[in-house]
Amino acid sequence: RKEVEQDPGPFNVPEGATVAFNCTYSNSASQSFFWYRQDCRKEPKLLMSVYSSGNEDGRFTAQLNRASQYISLLIRDSKLSDSATYLCVVNKGSNYQLIWGAGTKLIIKP
Amino acid sequence: DTEVTQTPKHLVMGMTNKKSLKCEQHMGHRAMYWYKQKAKKPPELMFVYSYEKLSINESVPSRFSPECPNSSLLNLHLHALQPEDSALYLCASSQASGPYNEQFFGPGTRLTVL
């Protein structure tokens, strides 16, 4: 089993729709969780950090379920500019080291 | 705008060349990282510096040599690379040690080894 698993997609979603991604992790000692977005040939950009049960920022909501060891990302009212790869990232339980999921590709269609 | 800068943006080098990648952060962060990313793969951690000292080396070949001249600067010296080392090299920084720190990335150097 991979340490962080994501559905690679692609998710093809019409503009304005709501889309949700899930990510599961295997290390129960992980304490912090992140969603990054990465555009083609660009660097990963931090989208949201999740330290407790969840976090919300505008159209984006992240939720953490420690019992089931998964994190979700919900995007409401999706925009064309939301098209990107979304990477689920989990702290390894020790300093510095992050475990990266393989990413979920999202394509928003007009 | 990113506050982590990297130079050069693109680099093409032969297998016998010596080159260096440079990274600078302006956020007062005390941890800095080098990652390597191949196409359609997530970033792979190479090195971590904490308070200017190397704290993690993920079994990276010696043809990659990191250097941290001060808390704002990070270099990656390259020598005798192989074509399979062609990738996007990303620098990141974070505020402090510990599991809660968020990492912020520079735009990367796209390296091609001929």
**Per-residue pLDDT tens digits for B66-96:** 999 999 999 999 999 999 999 999 999 998 7
What is chain A's mean pLDDT, rounded? 93
**Per-residue pLDDT tens digits for A74-86:** 999 999 999 999 9
Q: What's the gap in Å between the CA of B106 and the closest CA on chain A?
A: 7
- Where chain A has pLDDT below 50, the residues are none
Contact B43/A96, CB-based, under 8 Å? no
Contact A44/B97, CB-based, under 8 Å? no
Nearest to B100 among A32, A42, A97 (CB): A32
Task: Name the CA radius of gyration of chain B, rounded.
Answer: 13
Read off the tokens for B27: 């956020």
Contact B99/A34, CB-based, under 8 Å? no
Task: Name the CA radius of gyration of chain A, rounded.
Answer: 13
CA distances to A52, A103, B110 from A44, in Å: 23, 11, 14
A93 class by beta-carbon count within 10 Å (0-12 exposed, 13-18 middle, 19+ buried): middle
Distance of CA A94 to the CA centre of its chain: 21
Query: Could you tell me the end-to-end alpha-carbon distance of chain B, in angstroms, rounded to an integer?
Result: 32
Q: What's the gap in Å between the CA of A54 and the closest CA on chain B?
A: 15
